[in-house]
Amino acid sequence: MNRSTNGLKGILMKHRVIIGLEVHVELKTRRKMFCNCSAQYFGQEPNTHTCPVCLGLPGALPVANRKAIQWCTQIGMALNCSIPSFSKFDRKNYFYPDLPKGYQISQYDEPFCLKGEIAVNGAKIGITRVHMEEDTGKLLHETVDGEKVSLIDFNRSGVPLVEIVTEPDFDNAKNVKAYLQKLQQIVRYLGVSDADMEKGQMRLEPNISISLDENSKSLPKYKVEVKNINSFSFVEKAINFEIKRQLEILERGETPVQETRGWDETKQKTVTQRVKEEANDYRYFPEPDIPPIKWNEKELAKLNESLPELPDEKLNRFIKQYRLSDYNAEILTREIDLADYFEEAVKLDKAVTPKQIANHIINKKVNINNVFPAKLIAEILSSSKIEDVSREDLIKIIKEVLAKNPKIRADYALGNESVLQFAIGQVMYVLRKKIDVNHLRNLIVEELK
């Protein structure tokens, strides 16, 4: 329930904010969805990743990319969806110059994944469906030889796209942002998409409406969709802007117009893009070129088994297994690379506790691409604080070590300073505690004089 002042004049109206989300995620399969062209199109010369199929040439036929279907299904599994044993592709018919076949191959009434849910900040968010479709080409509006032209780059045409639709279960922008972060985290964990917003690999479309009846279960008669948002914080801003804008309209006793709006970051507001008079009629029908997909239980079980450990599971395991704080575990599991790095370091040296490793990584903001886990351990060891070991005890051990290893004294006398390192190691071995290495070194040198 949201009771917002939002700078509104007059009465505080009781209201209920209703937000649902459509998210498109581009899969990082090697090949496109329906042909053998490379799907890695980003930054490539226009129209170099094309063939008769993704150009929609007469007679060319789509053949579904098995891997993409499996990945889409795994996204659904990670979002706790049910996976129907029968699924099919459909044609979504509409005209746009970036759509070379005049229809998009998508899924209509029998998607790969249905009815999931995911917890976000303690709230349960329903997942309506997760389905598979193909990306379109890209229009470029440019001036060539002084003439304004529209150019089409088909490199992106046919790149596998997964659409994840939620129930209208959000009531605030903060949770939407948290959900998006979680979704991004999940697809990255699955290794099915980099979900890089800037490269258009993850696209967000919230739809927002407000009911003045706090307790009504039914949805308002209108909804506003916001498109062209390319960052999580813009989503938050756009939603909060919309809530305020729509409330103002509702307070006047009017109903906001059903429309598609875009987020204008410079003006910090949403702006009208397209007013929908009627719902588009896409004339969906089953795609005759692709036979329906039928799973058997074995195949689904295998897909399920091959799911990696997901963020929530990993988080809980880190807390339990490594006795980390919730805060540390959350940071370490945010990205799978970091989590893996942490675990690798833990395995390396039992003398350093997981907690020490976690603290070091987080506090020192370690760049995991530059610092190998072994080096990390060494850093931790050398920077460790002295434990309470008395000077007398230390000297006692040093004397023992020097007595046992006469070569240390001999070598040092000959000017071999590196032998000190060996001596330090020997003392540490006996001591089995972390102490200030410099302090120890000085003591050893004193003793050798």
Partner 1 sequence: MTSHNNLTIKKAREGLLKKDFSAVELLNAYLEQIERKNSELNAFITVCKSEALEQAKHADKLLSEGQDLPLLGIPIALKDIYSTKGIQTTAGSNVLKGYIPPFDATVVARLKEAGAVIIGKTNLDAWAHGSSGENSDFGPTKNPWNTDFVPGGSSSGSAVSVSAQMAIAATGTDTGGSIRLPASFTNTVGLKPTYGRVSRYGIVAMASSLDSIGHFTKNVEDSALFLNVTAGNDPLDGTTPTVEVPDYTKKLDKDIKGIRIGIPKEYFIAGMDPKVRENIEKAIKFYEENGCKIEQISLPHTEYAIATYYIIQPAEVSSNLARYDGIRYGNKRKTFGEEAKRRIMLGTFTLSVGYYDAYYKKALKVRTLLIKDFEEAFKKVDAIIAPVSPTLPWKIGEKANDPLSMYLSDVFTVTANITGHPGLSIPTGFVDGFPVGMQIIGPHFKEELLFNLGHRYEQEHKWFERNPYET
Residues that bind partner 1 (CB under 8 A): 52, 56-64, 91, 93, 95, 97, 100-103, 279, 281, 283-285, 288-291
Unique residue bearing structure tokens 């020490």:
356
Q: How far is the CB of 153 from partner 1 (least distance, A)?
A: 14
Cβ-based nearer residue to partner 1, 64 or 238: 64
Decide if 223 contacts 259 (C-beta within 8 A): no
Q: Give the whole-angstrom CA distance, residue 286 versus residue 111.
A: 12
| SS3 call for 159 | coil
Between 289 and 349, name the residue whose CB sits nearer to partner 1: 289
Provide the minimum distance between the beta carbon of 289 and partner 1 in the complex, in angstroms, as a whole number: 5
Complex with partner 1: residue 102 or 191, whichever CB lies closer: 102
**Minimum gap (Å) between residue 104 Cβ and partner 1:** 11
Q: Round to whole Å and give the CA distance between 368 and 365.
A: 9
Nearer to partner 1, 64 or 202 (CB): 64
Give the nearer residue to partner 1 in terms of CB position, either 4 or 93: 93
Closest CA to 52 of 122, 93, 101: 101
Min CB(89)–partner 1 separation in Å: 10
Nearer to partner 1, 60 or 448 (CB): 60
Question: Buried b vs exposed e over 196-207: b needs ≥16 C-beta within 10 Å?
Answer: ebeeebbbbbbb
Give whichever of 35 and 161 is closer to partner 1, judged by the CB atom: 35
User: Where would I find the beta strands (DSSP E) of 113-234?
Assistant: 113-120, 123-134, 138-144, 147-153, 160-166, 202-211, 224-227
CA distance 449 to 420: 13
CB of 54 to partner 1, least distance (A): 12
Least gap, CB of 290 to partner 1 (angstroms) = 5
Residue (15 or 101) nearer to partner 1, CB: 101
Report the residue number, 108 or 222, with the smaller CB distance to partner 1. 108
146: tokens are: 């002084």
CB of 144 to partner 1, least distance (A): 17
Q: How far apart are CA 62 and CA 289, in angstroms?
A: 7
Question: How far are the Cα atoms of 331, 353, 366 from residue 359, in angstroms, in the given order?
Answer: 11, 10, 10
Least distance CB 295 / partner 1 (angstroms)? 17
Distances (CA, A) of 391 to 170, 381, 398, 408, 439: 62, 20, 10, 21, 10
Burial call 158-186: b when 16+ CB within 10 Å, e when fewer:
bbbbbbbbbbbbbbbbebbbbbbebbbbb
Structure tokens at 442: 């000085």
Q: Shortest gap between Cβ of 98 and partner 1 (angstroms)?
A: 10
d(CA 4, CA 23): 27
Q: Please provide the distance, in angstroms rounded to a whole number, between the alpha carbons at the two ends of the chain.
A: 76
